[in-house]
Amino acid sequence: MSGKRRGVAFCVNSECDCFAQLRSYRHLPDEYDCPRCGTPGHVERERGIKQPGTSIFDEVRVEFDFDPEQRIYRDSVRVRDRRLLGKHDVYTLQSPLVKTRAQALRVAAAVMKQLNERLARAKRHVPGRDELISQGWPVLV
């Protein structure tokens, strides 16, 4: 969501002392070499997946507790906004940086708030006459 490439990197050499030890990065490199053995490692990025549809989100899922040996997320949480009626979109965040359920719930609530505030701000903007004309809309005098 932030445009930054956050995530973790780790060594994949099972004979190395650093094997499967996650190293967190705010600005994740494209490639990672283990500092101990020099073996090319694996980079796991934090990523958000939007379900296509209305752009109104009533559910956010956070997949967390990344297992570097199996390369899977071992747990997930779900936060829903029950104030919204009808069927809406789901946003899933896969984050190797989130370790605990409590942390995942806080992240999910923050993501839900940010997604729906962005939509509310966009809806509050009412274009003026000049903006409509510049966009090619026919306008009555």
Q: Work out the number of other CB atoms within 10 angstroms of the CB of residue 58.
A: 20
pLDDT string in tens for the chain (141-residue length): 445 689 999 999 999 999 999 999 999 999 999 999 999 999 999 999 987 776 778 889 999 999 999 999 999 999 988 776 667 788 999 999 999 999 999 999 999 888 877 766 666 666 677 877 787 777 776
Q: Which of 112, 68, 120, 123 is nearest to 90 (CA)?
A: 112
pTM > 0.95: no
Secondary structure string (H, E, C) spanning 68-115: CCCCEEEEEEEEECCCCCCCCEEEEEECCCCCCHHHHHHHHHHHHHHH
Q: Tell me, what's the pLDDT at 36? A: 94
